[in-house]
Amino acid sequence: MPVRQKPVEEQVVVITGASSGIGLATAHLFAERGVKGLVLASRSEEDLRKVADDLSRNGTRAIAVPADVSKREDLERIARTAIETFGGFDTWVNDAAVAMYGALDKVPIEDQRQLFDVNYWGVVNGSLIAADHLRHRGGTIINVGSVLSERTMMLQAPYSASKHAVKAFTDGLRMELENQGAPVSVTLIKPSSIDTPYVEHARNYLDKEPAVPPPTYDPHLVAKAIVFAAGHKRRELTIGFGGWVIGAMGKVAPRMVDKAMEWTGYSAQTTSERERPEMRDNLYRSRRDGDMYSSLQGEPRKTSFLLEAQIHPFFTAALIAGLGAAFAALMIAPRGRNQHRRQDRSYRRPIPPYQPQPVTRRTGNGHDKRSFGPGHVSQRSGYEGRPQPRH
């Protein structure tokens, strides 16, 4: 059965992790597109209700559902609220996640388990609940992963491991739903370094404030990818060439990338800037929310040509083909002109066929006569001039 996706304007959308960063930017962009309804979930009840009220004043019906995605019963309550309020939902976005920085021998196992409860099991339970609802009506499941699902980042190994697991689960879910004939699109979103409160919310075991490796991208780019996937079937969408190329190089030259990360891993992921302490460490409980961006200096990139190429693949392919043809024409034209010039020179100076040329020989009496070489018998006329006297 083919995938069924409604136009975005007719959809009811569920977003977890909707009170800050990517989730908040996504909620705003869906509201700008005029969706039928938004079901926003987060642990930060007060900040979440402010977001829902703000979006509702602008014409979108948005409701807040305080929930902890590490608990399946909370995720079931989100789905139940959406069904009771709107009659169902059409897109489910699993965005909620937590992070931590530190060497593996410094991070307690219980912290790593909690991270997996949120980042992995929250996605698993949310996806399965959504799939059960969408199996017959059609719709979209969108899981927010990371480019770190392709390449582990040192000092963020537990987070990277959870995103590897999210990618594997998402691929498996997609195949099984397709094999069952369910009209559901399953998309994995893979952001690079995004300028959100992610770093300030992270639990930190380093001796400096954490940061994300440059270049950083605007969270609205990730929101754009999510909104696009809600209405268009896509397997994966990656935001940011900087993160994508590290993953690609990691497959081609893994040891070289290992060494590069070892040399730069600490300096690229730490900063001397002071971050907001009221946001620090939301691993076990919510902290201050409500912001899309971090407090770190620097302007994030507002465009991602890699994302545009994935959103418009046919146009991109045509553009690349056109550029390739133009380049080939530029390379071939000089050769063609040179070859034409060589051909012109050959026609201007043709090589004549061989013909024997007469040579001049001196006869015994000192007079010059024309001869065609040895053995030639001349055809003499009756008179060739005054007879020579004999001596």
Query: Domain 8-303 carries which CATH code?
Result: 3.40.50.720
Average pLDDT over residues 28-40: 97
Bridge-based pairing of strands 91-94 and 184-191 is unpaired
d(CA 232, CA 186): 10
- The per-residue pLDDT for range 67-92, each reduced to its tens digit, is 999 999 999 999 999 999 999 999 99
- Please name which of 23, 82, 41 lies closest in space to residue 220, comparing C-alpha atoms: 23
* Residue 277 · residue 283 · CB < 8 Å: no
d(CA 45, CA 286): 9
* Residue 112 · residue 50 · CB < 8 Å: no
Q: Is the peptide bond before 277 cis (omega within 30 degrees of 0)?
A: no
Alpha carbon of 7 to those of 208, 235, 247, 310: distances in Å? 46, 18, 33, 19
Please provide residue 273's backbone torsions phi and psi, each rounded to the nearest 5 degrees.
Answer: -70, 145
* Residue 125 · residue 69 · CB < 8 Å: yes
| pLDDT band with cut points at 50, 70 and 90 for residue 58 | confident
Least confident of 157-161, 293-297, 332-336, 337-341: 337-341
- The per-residue pLDDT for range 143-174, each reduced to its tens digit, is 999 999 999 999 999 999 999 999 999 999 99
Q: What's the mean pLDDT when you consider all of the chain?
A: 88
* Residue 208 · residue 270 · CB < 8 Å: yes
More confident residue, 242 or 136: 136
- In sequence order, what DSSP letters do the residues of 81-95 get, joined into one string? HHHHHHS--SEEEE-
Q: Outline where DSSP puts E strands in 3-90.
A: 12-16, 37-42, 62-66
Q: Is the pLDDT of residue 381 over 50?
A: no
- Please name which of 212, 208, 184, 223 lies closest in space to residue 307, comparing C-alpha atoms: 223
| pLDDT band with cut points at 50, 70 and 90 for residue 353 | low
Which pTM was predicted? 0.81
- Please name which of 33, 7, 178, 164 lies closest in space to residue 91, comparing C-alpha atoms: 7
* Residue 89 · residue 82 · CB < 8 Å: yes
Q: Which two tokens stand for residue 330?
A: 């530029």
- The per-residue pLDDT for range 253-274, each reduced to its tens digit, is 999 999 999 999 999 999 999 9
Instruction: Provide the pLDDT for residue 242.
Output: 84
d(CA 245, CA 193): 13
- The per-residue pLDDT for range 195-211, each reduced to its tens digit, is 999 999 999 999 999 99
Please provide residue 60's backbone torsions phi and psi, each rounded to the nearest 5 degrees.
Answer: -100, 135
Q: Outline where DSSP puts E strands in the chain.
A: 12-16, 37-42, 62-66, 91-94, 100-101, 139-144, 184-191, 203-204, 209-210, 236-239, 270-271, 359-362, 368-371
* Residue 167 · residue 32 · CB < 8 Å: no
List the catalytic residues: 159
Chain position carrying tokens 């040329």 = 357
Instruction: Provide the pLDDT for residue 383.
Output: 45
Residue ranges of the domains in the chain? 8-303, 312-341
